A and B are shown apart, each in its own frame.
Chain A
Amino acid sequence: MTTSIGFIFFIGAIGLGAIGIAGIVLANHLFRLVLALAIAEAGANLLLILAGYRWDAVAPIVSDPAVVQTMVDPVPQAMVLTAIVIGVGVQALALTLVIRIRQRYGTLDMQEARQRMQDDLDAAAGITPSRSRERPAGGRPLPAPAAAVEAGVQHD
């Protein structure tokens, strides 16, 4: 990419990707996560389109030789269309899940949703959670009364 315009687009694509990835990693609100995902995917798609940009290409089939059309590589553009559609589908599914989580758990906070999920999974499995705010670690039960020693077994 020698010209400055291409450089700007390149920076833009990487920047969008970086913003999106940063958002996914740092955000705590479910909806913001979906938005960040959308931005990241936009950045990746832009990067792919840029891969197909040709500065001095000419259309292979020219009907009027006087008019010369500049041309870019169409293959990445086709790929990006596919990728955009995939992204749209995934984002739609993500939003559906966000709605459902809001309906079931009443929260859109990732930490809280994760904690509720763990608690539900543990409860369904029948495991007492190892640590929770409702049951702090203090006040351990007394040791069981010394049971009858089994035939004086000793180990070494």
Chain B
Amino acid sequence: MNAFDLLMLVATAAIPMSALLAPIAFGRWLLVAAYAVELGLLFMLTPGDATRSAVAFQLLGNDVGWQLDALGWFFAVITVGAAGFSAAFAAGEWSAANGRQGLSLRWLYGGLQINVLAMLLLLSSADFISLFIGWELTSWSGLILMLLAGGQAIRAALRYIVYALAGGMAVFAGMLVTQAHVGSLQFAALSAAAPNLPNTALWSITLLFVLGFAVKMAILPFHLWQPPAYAYSPGPASAFLGSISARMGLFGIALVAIKLIGLGQLLTLSLWRDVVDLRDILLWVAALTAILPTYVAMRQNDARLLLSWHGVGQGGYMLLGLMIADSLGNAGGLLHVFNYASYQVILLLAVFAVIHRTGTADLNRLGGLVARMPLTFLAMLVGIIGLAGLPPMNGFVSKWMIYRSLVSEGMPLLFVATVISTLGTVLSVYKLLHNTFLGQLRLEHVEVKEAPWSMTIPMLLLCVVVFVTGVAPGLVLSHVASVQQAIGLEPVNYILGGIESPAGSLDMLWISGILFAGFGIGALLFYGFGGRSKRVHQLDNYAGGHFLTADVRYQYSDNFYAGLMHRIRPWYRNSFVWLESSLVSAVGAAGMLARGFFKQANPAQWALVGTTVVMTWMMWHALG
């Protein structure tokens, strides 16, 4: 029984444990400990070699087994880590308060663990049947978490499951077409046969798999389900889903399109006489996914929705990075998975901490909370710096790598696209920070206290992780390099501080050192040689000769970026929403047509018509 089997055993056993222990406070901390155990077991595995599970079946003549290689290990660590931190956040006061309000804690914790188990099954698949089993289980277990909150979450969850089924069926079709052409459902069979497949077969297999995985990843145009579905889940569920659940699609693309079929093969799938190939299409779709949802996020007034729309955009970044042929670029894309997961968890947990204390996530009704919740502010600040991609946080490293390789690979337009996307990111995360924490504290929030320690400690721990991996990205890059090796790409040349390559290096240790040295000099100058600052109450102020009182708003935060919005408002045309709703209407109309078939006055009419047609067709066929 190796560590991998032990891990699966713990994950499975934790499900009934969660259902039993969730309502008890001490039990919830035990469940967090279970996640820590799972993480420890993961670290006991050597990620370089693939660990085969002892559990294997022969089902319907196919070998079904599980093994964890570097690619799956990388995603598994992120999954278990995100789940652990979310569960730790919720284990104390959060669960007590929400449980009293009617949330089913058993389903929440049980569902979280089911999700982790399903993702582990997916990440460790060794053939297409186990891949599909894990895929479907992941989709359906995500549904459990989304349905918990009730109300508007249910509509979002219904939309989600239809999209997820469509994607799952595309993956199923891809799997079966593979079996038809290659003759076996083992991964090794596809990678062996891929160079020799005829063009139509390769196109259909690749397209089916990529489309199926893209739906889960919320790549344009399949992105409409994700923001509401993830935003309206309860706290820890939202953080977990938002950080890693959609990335399972990226895992799928990395596995099938890059490892099994091969990036080189993707380059042979071309349209219009080799002008553009599938990889170019994917790069541009990813770039569009990085841009458009980010600007939609700028318009959101619900903090959770804002962050979820960002999730869609960052997914585009990851796909963009992965599809670049340069080792620096795809390392950047893979690193971004880890980085994004880390700060998305922080940001969502911070937002849920604010909701816990103030009861609202509406950015137009918050403000000035830095005075009351400084630790939460610090966590959100770190998360935002990371999301925007500024040093010294880890987001900077992955974004730098992607920018660098786009330029060196000769794709300047895509570089401009990513820059536009980053601009949108910076603007919208500042809106998030400002509207929540900066500005004027509202009267109803004067009594708000800092979030309890059970909530702030996980957030701050993650901030430390973000900072440390930002300053010394080599810690994560070593694993990224093994992932690259596992999927057949050239591994990136990394050092502890970052990247070492002849085309240009990045050493975060240096950069962070210089940055902090700069801060240090500035602090010295400010506090040592100047800095005659006096602390004044926020309301110790006058306007037009009148004293200001706390019930008067003298600092507005709604309709943020009014000027920019005035300019770009006409560009928001809701095209994708229109597309989706017209598709749904078309299906509904087709349904009415089909029902009309059953509604005929004389039932025999169709029988006669049908019989005549059928007989004529048969006789014509037999003659011809």
A and B touch in the complex (CB under 8 A): yes
Show the binding face of A for B, using Cβ within 8 Å.
Answer: 21, 24-26, 28, 110-111, 114, 118, 150-156
B460 lies within 8 A of chain A by Cβ = no
Distance between B579 CB and nearest chain A CB, rounded to angstroms = 11
Q: Which of under 10, 10 to 19, 20 to 34, or 35 or more describes the interface residues of B?
A: 20 to 34
Give the residue name and chain of the B residue nearest to A21 (CB).
B608
Contact B608 A153 (CB under 8 A): no
Kindly state the separation between the CA atoms of A24 and B608 in the bound complex, as whole angstroms. 10
Establish whether residues B608 and A25, one from each chain, have CB atoms under 8 Å apart when the complex forms.
Answer: yes
Q: Which residues of A contact B599 (CB under 8 A)?
A: 118
Measured CB to CB, the closest approach of chain B to A115, in angstroms, equals 9
Given contacts A25-B608, A114-B601, contact A152 B362 (CB under 8 A): yes
Indicate if the CB atoms of A154 and B299 lie closer than 8 Å.
Answer: yes
- Nearest residue in A to B574 (C-beta to C-beta)? A156
B362 partner residues in chain A, CB cutoff 8 A: 151-152
Given A25-B602, A151-B360, A151-B361 in contact, is the A156-B576 Cβ separation under 8 Å?
Answer: yes
B601:A153 contact, CB within 8 angstroms: no
* Closest B residue to A23 using CB positions: B604
Chain A residue at minimal CB-CB distance from B231: A153
Within 8 A of A (CB), among B207-236: 224, 228
Cβ-defined contact, B601 with A151, below 8 A:
no
Q: Whole-angstrom distance between the alpha carbons of A45 and B228 in the complex?
A: 65
In the complex, are the beta carbons of A153 and B300 less than 8 A apart? yes
Per-residue contact bits, chain B 277-299, to A (CB 8 Å; 1 contact, 0 not):
00000000000000011001001
Once the chains bind, are B601 and A154 in contact (CB under 8 Å)?
no
- B302 within 8 A of partner (CB): yes
Q: Which residues from chain A contact B555 at a C-beta distance below 8 Å? A: none
Q: A24-B604, A25-B605, A110-B601 are in contact. Are A152 and B572 (CB under 8 A)?
A: no
Alpha-carbon distance between A66 and B360 when the two chains are bound, in angstroms: 111
B364 touching A152, Cβ below 8 Å:
yes
By beta carbon, the residue of chain B nearest A130 is B592
Residues on B with C-beta less than 8 A from A150 are 152
| Beta-carbon contact of B302 and A152 below 8 Å | yes
Closest residue of chain A to B360, judged by CB? A151
The smallest beta-carbon distance between B327 and chain A, in angstroms, is 35
CB distance from A85 to the nearest CB of B (A): 23
Contacts of B601 in A (CB 8 A): 110-111, 114
Q: Does B44 contact A (CB under 8 A)?
A: no
Q: Which residue in B228, B301, B576, B605 is a CB contact (below 8 Å) of A151?
A: B301
15 pairs across A/B with beta carbons < 8 Å? A21-B604, A21-B608, A24-B602, A24-B604, A25-B604, A25-B605, A26-B602, A114-B601, A150-B152, A151-B301, A152-B363, A152-B364, A154-B300, A155-B224, A155-B574
A154 surroundings in chain B (CB, below 8 A): 296, 299-301
Q: Which residues of B contact A (CB under 8 A)?
A: 152, 224, 228, 292-293, 296, 299-302, 305, 360-364, 572, 574, 576-577, 599, 601-602, 604-605, 608
Asked if residues B604 and A151 are in contact (CB atoms below 8 Å), the reply is no
Q: B296 and A156: CB pair below 8 A? A: yes
CA distance A118 to B601 in the complex (A): 11
Q: How far is the CB of A128 from chain B (nearest CB, A)?
A: 16
A152 / chain B contacts, CB cutoff of 8 Å: 300-302, 362-364
Max chain A C-beta neighbours (<10 A), residue from B360, B574, B602: B602
- B289: shortest Cβ distance to chain A, in Å? 13
A147 to B330 CA separation, bound complex (whole angstroms):
48
A110-B601, A110-B602, A114-B601 are contacts. A153–B302 as well, Cβ < 8 Å? yes
Least Cβ–Cβ distance between B418 and chain A, in angstroms: 20
Chain B residues with CB under 8 Å of A110's CB are 601-602
Q: Which 9 A-B pairs have the closest CB atoms?
A: A152-B301, A156-B296, A151-B362, A151-B302, A24-B604, A25-B604, A25-B608, A111-B601, A154-B299
A75 to B221, CA, bound (A): 67
A26 → B minimal CB distance (Å): 8
A38 to chain B, nearest CB (A): 15
Say how far B448's CB is from chain A's closest CB, in angstroms: 18
A110 to B152, alpha carbons, bound, how many Å?
Answer: 46
Q: What residues of A have a CB within 8 angstroms of the CB of B602 in the complex?
A: 24-26, 28, 110
B-side contacts of A21, CB under 8 Å? 604, 608
B535 to chain A, nearest CB (A): 34
Closest A residue to B232 by beta carbon equals A153
Q: Measured between alpha carbons, how far is A54 from B360 in the docked complex, in Å?
A: 92
Shortest CB–CB separation between residue A149 and chain B, in angstroms?
9
A112 to chain B, nearest CB (A): 10
- Name the A residues within 8 Å of B224 (CB-CB): 155
Query: What is the chain A residue whose CB lies nearest that of B606?
Result: A25
Nearest to A36 among chain B residues (CB) is: B604
A28–B305 Cα gap in the complex (Å)? 59
Residues of A within 8 A of B577 (CB): 155-156
Q: A24-B608, A25-B608, A111-B601 are in contact. List 12 more A-B contacts (CB 8 A).
A: A21-B604, A21-B608, A24-B602, A25-B602, A28-B602, A110-B601, A114-B601, A150-B152, A151-B360, A154-B301, A156-B293, A156-B576
**How many angstroms between the C-alpha atoms of A25 and B576 in the bound complex?**
47
Residues of A within 8 A of B296 (CB): 154, 156
A-chain residues with CB within 8 Å of residue B299 when the two chains form the complex: 154, 156
Bound state CA distance, A27 and B354, in angstroms?
72
B300 contacts across to A, CB distance below 8 A: 152-154
Chain A CB count within 10 A is highest, among B292, B300, B363, B577, for B300
Q: Which of A21, A24, A154, A156 has most B Cβ within 10 Å?
A: A156
| In the bound complex, CA of A150 to CA of B360 (Å) | 11
Docked complex Cα distance between A101 and B296 (Å): 61
Residue of B nearest to A37 (CB): B604
- Give chain A residues whose Cβ lies under 8 Å from the Cβ of B228: 155
A residues in contact with B576, CB < 8 Å: 156
Complex Cα–Cα for A93 and B299 (A): 69
CB neighbours (8 Å) of A111 from chain B are 601
- How far is A134 from B601 in the complex, measured between Cα atoms in Å? 20
Contacts of A24 in B (CB 8 A): 602, 604, 608
- Cα distance A155–B228 in the bound complex, in angstroms: 9
Q: How far is the CB of B8 from chain A (nearest CB, A)?
A: 39
A118: chain B residues within 8 A (beta carbon)? 599
Interchain CB contact under 8 A, A153 and B574: no
With most chain B CB atoms within 10 A of its CB, the pick from A25, A114, A150, A152 is A152
* CB closest residue in chain B, given A26: B602
How far does the alpha carbon of A150 sit from the alpha carbon of B292 in the complex, in Å? Answer: 23
| Assembly CA distance A152 to B362 (angstroms) | 8
What is the minimal beta-carbon distance from B516 to any residue of chain A, in angstroms? 39
Residues of B within 8 A of A151 (CB): 301-302, 360-362
Bound complex: CA A28 to CA B601 (Å): 9
- In whole Å, how far is B202's beta carbon from the nearest beta carbon of chain A? 35
Question: A111 vs B152: C-alpha distance in the bound complex, in angstroms?
Answer: 43
